[in-house]
Amino acid sequence: MGDAVHLSHEERKHLIQAARVALDEIDLHDIPIVAGTGASSTRESIKLCIDASKAGADYVMVIPPGYYAGTMLSNIGSVKRFFMDIAQASPVPVIIYNFPAVSGGIDMDSDLIVDIIRSSPNICGVKLTCGNVGKLTRIMGQVSTADFQKRYPRSCTSPFRAINGFIDFLLPSISVGSSGAISGLPNIAPKSCVRLWDLSQSSTTAKEAAELQHMIALADGVALKIGIAGMKLLLHRKYGYSEKPRLPLLPMEETAADVLNSPFLTELLILEGKL
């Protein structure tokens, strides 16, 4: 839960290997593993992609490096080159990860993302943790057309996918081409979030889907405020996992934990217990 950036190279490999073994042991051989491999340099990101592939990852997700964000933003071609170089060198397909809050404010617009996709056949998707439904719509409005796919064929066999970084706008995004969400909230309410996904696939359950989306969006708003430390504490209370994030992040102090009693979170967790 948000600790990838604080893991060593060896820990990353062990984590991927352990995930693959755990899935295979329960006959989930077809469930793919997506490994985060973004780093501060192109060379390190490529090495992480290679290591992840060897460890059993099926896809890699790469965030732009934010350490020299100002310099990169002054020459946006450097962001494009970063992804093109990694996509060309990666042994597995690459997912672009747009998350401006943790990448020094680098927020790739739809034009840049589509330009990178055109230039890099090994890019198979984009994760948008910028909460921008319009951006997702513009991307899918171009890359999902038959003409685009003919002119810019993918080297990966799976179709191009756009993925939400927040689950609070899953329902409206489905109608414009989203393939789902990779979000923090499903850590504590997985059944409710899967229920929302199932409801979003049918027009006959629109009212129930909208009601559940409202509930999940309100709870996700709390989850965004409590951050890594708050989510860790919730997971500790619910499942017994360690409440401690990797240093330099500190655990949430109990005196600040009253926010975890939010009625929005409480309502969702009550529903979760019933599913």
Catalytic residue set: 127
Placement of tokens 């979760």 in the chain: 272
Whether residue 217 contacts residue 205, with contact meaning beta carbons closer than 8 Å, is answered with no
SS3 content of the chain, % helix, strand, coil (to 5): 60, 10, 30
Vertex 273: Cα angle to 127 and 15 (nearest 5): 45
CA dist 115 and 138 (Å) reads: 12
DSSP 257: G
Sheet holding 161-164, edge to edge: 34-36, 59-62, 94-98, 123-128, 161-164, 178-181
Placement of tokens 């060198």 in the chain: 89
Please count the other Cβ atoms lying within 10 Å of the Cβ belonging to residue 240.
8
Placement of tokens 């993302």 in the chain: 113
List all residues 6 or more positions away from 121 whose beta carbon is below 8 Å from its beta carbon.
87, 152, 153, 154, 155, 156
Whether residue 121 contacts residue 151, with contact meaning beta carbons closer than 8 Å, is answered with no
